[in-house]
Amino acid sequence: MDKQYIKKLAEDPRFIPGIYNYCDRWRERCPLTCRCMNFALGEEQFGDPEARDINNKAFWQKLSETFQVTLEMVKEAAKEQGIDLDSVDLQQAGQEHEAARDAAEDHECCRAAEAYAQIARNWFKSAKDLFEQKADELNLQAQVEIGDSNPAEEAASLKDSVDVIRWYQHFIYVKLVRAITGCLEETPQSLNGFPKDSDGSAKIALIAIDRSIAAWGQMRQHLPQREDNILDILVHLDRLRRKTETVFPNAKAFVRPGFDYAEL
């Protein structure tokens, strides 16, 4: 990969600028991968299965090349804007960022998100036998064709619920830490009239919470034996959602490039 190739991609009208900044990273379910430059770069650099294997030398070599080219482009962009990176106290800046991140991790929203991830982990661990029983039940229904039941459809719905919950289980915490950290670091000067990145990060966290709530609602229908536990989880997520909306009252109004307006 070289700088000229990246610049050529950036000029391609197919790609929506910044679309990758506020997505949920779920490539398999994204309808806009064809409009995403990050996706195109990823396929170009890591399309080979060996290049995707973190235990393979090819992966680390590709990653190193990517970082090097990115660093060179950042330096060029800074120079074009009259910014002297050598004059920046990187050590102090790093310490300030770490302090903001530590404060973010201790924020009530982030603590609640971290607690949710652990609650979900424990729930799946405790429900292992129940999932096995459900699988046996659906297999039996498929064999004897009982009534109007559709075991294949129910199995697909149950799997989708699990996939959604698992995908966002830790994602919510990561995005809220980013949102709170950004909120602590943002200044009118740094924003320069642009929308707050922290609102964008908070918005995708809220979307992840909403999708998780919907998935747990489906799970409740599939596994009524665990209704009480699931209701507790739903209450926890609802409280987290309301806390996040309070901290970021403008998050829902944030316009994510490509996702929140017609750009197709």
Query: Domain of 73?
Result: 3-88
Quick: pLDDT tens for 140-155: 888 876 666 788 999 9
Domain-located, residue 95: no
Domain-located, residue 55: yes
Residue 60 has pLDDT above 90, yes or no: no
- Which of 38, 60, 88 represents a domain boundary (last residue)? 88
Domain-located, residue 262: no
Domain-located, residue 261: no
Say if residue 84 is in the same domain as residue 106.
no
Residue 202: CB partners within 8 Å, gap ≥ 6? 175, 176, 179, 244, 247, 248, 251, 254
Q: Domain total for the chain? A: 2
Quick: pLDDT tens for 191-226: 666 789 999 999 999 999 999 999 999 999 999 999
204 closest CA partner among 20, 17, 23: 23
Say if residue 40 is in the same domain as residue 144.
no
Say if residue 44 is in the same domain as residue 108.
no
In this prediction, residue 264 has a pLDDT band, given cuts at 50, 70 and 90, of very low
Say if residue 39 is in the same domain as residue 113.
no
Most confident of 3-17, 83-97, 192-206, 236-250: 236-250
**Chain-centre distance for alpha carbon 33:** 15
Domain-located, residue 93: no
Quote the pLDDT of residue 158.
95
The per-residue DSSP string of the chain comes to: --HHHHHHHHT-TTSPTTGGGGS---GGG-TTGGG-HHHHHHHHHH-SHHHH-TTSHHHHHHHHHHHHHHHHHHHHHHHHTT--GGGS-HHHHHHHHHHHHHHHHTSHHHHHHHHHHHHHHHHHHHTHHHHHHHHHHHHHHHHHT-TT--HHHHHHHHHHHHHHHHHHTTHHHHHHHHHHHHHHH--HHHHTTPPPHHHHHHHHHHHHHHHHHHHHHHHHHH-GGGHHHHHHHHHHHHHHHHHHHHH-TTGGG---TTTSS---
Give the relative orientation of helices 151-168 and 128-144 as an angle to the nearest 10 degrees.
Answer: 160
Say if residue 109 is in the same domain as residue 84.
no
Say how many CA atoms lie within 13 Å of 136 toward its Cβ: 6
pTM of the full structure: 0.84
Residue 44 has pLDDT above 60, yes or no: yes
Quote the pLDDT of residue 55.
63
Say if residue 139 is in the same domain as residue 238.
yes
Say if residue 163 is in the same domain as residue 220.
yes
Say if residue 82 is in the same domain as residue 181.
no
Quick: pLDDT tens for 81-113: 676 666 656 677 778 889 999 999 999 999 999
Say if residue 170 is in the same domain as residue 220.
yes
Domain-located, residue 37: yes
Say if residue 188 is in the same domain as residue 244.
yes
Quick: pLDDT tens for 163-178: 999 999 999 999 999 9
Say if residue 84 is in the same domain as residue 108.
no
Say if residue 67 is in the same domain as residue 111.
no
Which residue matches tokens 């600028």? 17
